């Protein structure tokens, strides 16, 4: 469901009787890990998102909070 927003369509998808389980609902890039045996195929898991770009430092926290105050989001 490319270009869909999970928050808008997730409940509708879950209400379809043929849907057994939703493994992933995200707008992030994903990869699905699939295994195949003599009985068939199955989903082992879903890799969601990307690696973090680093750890937030105290200076980053200060800048983030300052920005939020400047735009009126945080007092």
What are 24's two structure tokens?
């992933």
**What CATH number should be reported for the domain holding residue 31?**
3.40.1520.10
Nearest alpha-carbon partner for 26 in 45, 6, 43, 10 = 6
In a domain, 1, yes or no: no
pTM above 0.95, yes or no: no
DSSP 1: -
- Structural domain range at position 66: 6-70
In a domain, 48, yes or no: yes
**Number of separate domains in the chain:** 1
pLDDT mean by block of 10 residues, the chain; 75 residues: 71 84 80 95 88 89 93 82
Task: Give the CA distances from residue 59 to residues 16, 27, 67, 69, in Å, rounded to whole numbers and listed in that order.
Answer: 48, 29, 12, 15
> Given this model, what pLDDT does residue 40 score?
95
In a domain, 75, yes or no: no
> Given this model, what pLDDT does residue 32 score?
92
């Amino acid at each position: 469901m490319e270009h869909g927003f999970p928050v808008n369509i997730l409940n509708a998808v879950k209400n379809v009787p043929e849907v057994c389980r939703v493994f992933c609902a995200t707008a992030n890039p994903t990869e699905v890990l699939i295994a195949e045996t003599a009985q068939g195929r199955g989903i082992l898991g879903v890799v969601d998102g990307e690696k973090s770009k680093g750890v937030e430092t105290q200076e980053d926290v200060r800048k983030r909070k300052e920005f939020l105050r400047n735009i009126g989001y945080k007092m």
